[in-house]
Structure 1
Amino acid sequence: MNAEKHPAQDVAEAYVSSLFVPAAPIRLDCILPSSFGVIQHQSQVIITTLEGLASKSIGIVEAMPSYKNNSTVETVIKPGPMTWMYDDIAAILLEFVIIIDGEEVLGGAGAFGMLKTDSGWMISGIESALQPSTQELHSTSQTPEGALHRVESFIEHLKQHDWSGMIADCLPGGGITLSRVSGYKTLPFPDLIEQLKRILSQRGDLVEELHDVEIKVLGNLALAWTPFTVSLEAEINMDTNDNSPVPAGRSPQLNPPVIQISGDVIHELAESVQRDVDMMDID
Structure 2
Amino acid sequence: MDPEKSAVLKTVTSFLSTIGANNSPSLQASHAYILPSSFAALSHPDALLQSRLSDALTRVEAQLATLFSSGASSSAEKPCAPGPEVWVYENIAAVWLGYEHVVDGAAVSRGVNLFGLLKTGPEEDEEREWKIAGIADTQWRPDGATPTISSTITSDLMAPINTFFAYMRARNWTQLASTLLPGGGMTHSAANEPLRQVTWPEFVEGLKGVIEKIPAEVDVNEKVYDVEARVCGDMAFVWTPFVVEFNGVERQKGVNVWTLLRREGAWWVSGCQDWGRGVGS
TM-score normalised per structure 2: 0.77
Distance 1:149 1:107 in 2: 28
- Verify the 8 A CA contact 1:20 1:61 in the aligned structure 2: yes
What do you get for the CA RMSD once the two structures are aligned? 3.3
Q: Which residue of 1 aligns with 2:115?
A: 112
Which is greater in Rg? 1
Distance 1:162 1:7 in 2: 40
Q: Aligned letter for 1:260? A: R
Q: Secondary structure at the match of 2:195?
A: strand
1:265 aligns to 2:256 (yes or no)? yes
Q: Which residue of 2 aligns with 1:133?
A: 142
| 1:215 shift after superposition | 0.2
1:232 aligns to 2:246 (yes or no)? yes
Which is further off, 224-233 or 195-204?
Answer: 195-204
Q: Which structure's residues are more often strand, by fraction? A: 2
Q: Which of the pair has the greater relative contact order for Cα pairs under 8 Å at 6+ separation?
A: 2
Residue 171 and residue 58 in structure 1: after superposition, are their counterparts in 2 closer, same or farther (change >3 A)?
farther
Q: Aligned letter for 2:254? A: G
- 1:170-202, CA deviations, whole angstroms, 9 ceiling, x for partnerless residues? 121211111132542211111121122222222
Structure 2 segments unaligned to the other structure (5+ residues): 122-127, 258-272
| 1:59 shift after superposition | 5.2
Q: Which residue of 1 aligns with 2:270?
A: none
How many residues are paired up?
Answer: 251
| 1:125 shift after superposition | 0.8
Which is further off, 53-62 or 124-133?
Answer: 53-62
Which is further off, 177-186 or 16-25?
Answer: 16-25
Q: Secondary structure at the match of 1:155?
A: helix
Q: Which residue of 2 aligns with 1:191?
A: 202
Q: Which residue of 2 aligns with 1:249?
A: none
| 1:77 shift after superposition | 0.7
Which is further off, 9-18 or 86-95?
Answer: 9-18
Taking the TM superposition and a 5 Å limit, the aligned residue runs for 1:1-283 are 5-19=5-19, 23-26=24-27, 27-58=30-61, 68-78=70-80, 80-118=83-121, 119-133=128-142, 136-139=145-148, 144-145=153-154, 146-180=156-190, 181-203=192-214, 204-233=218-247, 258-265=249-256, 267-268=273-274, 276=278
TM-score normalised per structure 1: 0.76
Q: Aligned letter for 1:131? A: W
- Verify the 8 A CA contact 2:41 2:136 in the aligned structure 1: yes
Residue 161 and residue 117 in structure 1: after superposition, are their counterparts in 2 closer, same or farther (change >3 A)?
closer
Residue 67 and residue 99 in structure 1: after superposition, are their counterparts in 2 closer, same or farther (change >3 A)?
farther
| 1:260 shift after superposition | 3.3
Distance 1:85 1:13 in 2: 16
- 1:131-159, CA deviations, whole angstroms, 9 ceiling, x for partnerless residues? 11397444369964232222112112222
Distance 1:30 1:4 in 2: 16
